[in-house]
Structure formats: C-alpha cells, structure tokens
C-alpha cells in the first residue's frame, strides 16, 4: 500500500500528580522495539485446515487490532508546554527505542492537542508548542530530527467526551508508515 498511513503508537499516560514520587516509566524501550520492529520476512506460519468454513475460518486481521492498541500520550498541565518529570521518563524510553537499529528507519508524527479552554488560534499555537517540546526533547536524547514531524491540532481532536478534561492536554506520537 502506498502513501502515508498513520498507526497508533504506545499506550501511556504520563500525568504529573503534584509532588508525588514517580514510580518509573510506563514501558521499556524493548517493549517499543518489539511492538514496532519489522516483522519476520517469512510472515506467519501456514497450515491447512480440513473441515467446514466455520471450523477453519480462524483468520484475524492483526493490523486492525494493532491499529488502536498503543497510544503514546504525554499529558501537560493547564496552559503549559513544559514536559512533566513523568513524561520525560517515558520519553527517555521512547528515545532509546528509536535509536535501536531495528527502528532507526521508522518515522514518527508527534501530534499536539489541547483541551477546549481558550480560543482556536491560541490552542493551535499551544498544541504546536507541545509537539515541538516533545520533538526537541527526543532530539536532545539522540533521535534524529528527520525521524520526527511535529503537528498541532489545537482542541479539534479531544481524547474524551468532556472537551475540558485535562486528559485532552496531550501529545500523541504515531508511527508513520510509508
């Protein structure tokens, strides 16, 4: 398939809880590499089923399951583009994974979002600054800038039904497959 397909990446919510201690990253670099490393070139094993259609129809489209399976979500405080300590821990693991030889050729889109407070223009600028903050942080950890593309969406894509929910103040990182 040609063109650019954006696939969800990594389940994570990095939320700063006051001055609470941070337990550690929500995932490891190896978890990320396992998720996104190129598949075995020989593909799945093959077999022959002798039986009725319903007995043999065990095909499951793994791509449709995987598409929404993981989202990297880095949350921000109100009206801020500063990364929280929890977000930095998780982004450190993400940076390690992107430097792995198996993922060096992968490209990622870093998408910034806001909650519904504030005007369209302000939120679009804030969401872009949030995406840029993640790209800058990852670049500072050795990830080539050419591997990352920052985009801001403002308040146009809320994560929850409540447009004012703090969970909407986030950056999602998605794998871009060409």
Please report, for the domain that includes residue 165, its CATH number. 3.30.1330.60
Boundaries of domain holding 151? 68-176
Q: Is the pLDDT of residue 15 over 80?
A: no
- Between 23 and 151, the more confident residue is 151
Inter-CA distances, 133 with 16, 53, 79, 92, 96, Å: 16, 52, 14, 13, 17
Using pLDDT thresholds of 50, 70 and 90, give the confidence band for residue 32. confident
Q: Is residue 102 part of a domain?
A: yes
pTM across the whole model: 0.69
The three-state secondary structure class of 34 is helix
Q: Strands 170-177, 107-113: parallel, antiparallel or unpaired by DSSP?
A: antiparallel
Q: Is residue 75 part of a domain?
A: yes
pLDDT at 116: 96
Q: Is residue 121 part of a domain?
A: yes
- Whose tokens are 């022959």? That residue is 48
Q: Is residue 156 part of a domain?
A: yes
For residues 119 and 125, the answer to whether their CB atoms sit within 8 Å is: no
């Amino acid at each position: 398939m040609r063109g650019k397909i954006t696939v969800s990446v990594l389940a994570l919510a990095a939320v700063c809880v006051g001055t609470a201690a941070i337990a550690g990253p929500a995932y490891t670099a190896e978890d990320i590499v396992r998720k996104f490393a190129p598949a075995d070139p020989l593909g799945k094993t093959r077999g022959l089923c002798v039986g009725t259609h319903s007995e043999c129809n065990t095909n499951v489209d793994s791509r449709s399951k995987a598409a929404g399976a993981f989202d990297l979500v880095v949350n921000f405080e109100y009206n801020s583009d500063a990364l929280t300590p929890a977000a930095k821990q998780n982004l450190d693991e993400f940076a390690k994974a992107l430097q792995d030889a198996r993922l060096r050729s992968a490209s990622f889109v870093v998408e910034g979002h806001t909650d519904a407070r504030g005007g369209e223009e302000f939120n679009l600028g804030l969401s872009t600054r949030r995406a840029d903050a993640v790209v800058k942080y990852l670049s500072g950890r050795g990830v080539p800038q050419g591997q990352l593309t920052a985009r801001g969406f403002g308040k146009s894509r809320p994560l929850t039904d409540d447009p004012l929910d703090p969970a909407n103040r986030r950056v999602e990182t998605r794998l871009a497959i060409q």
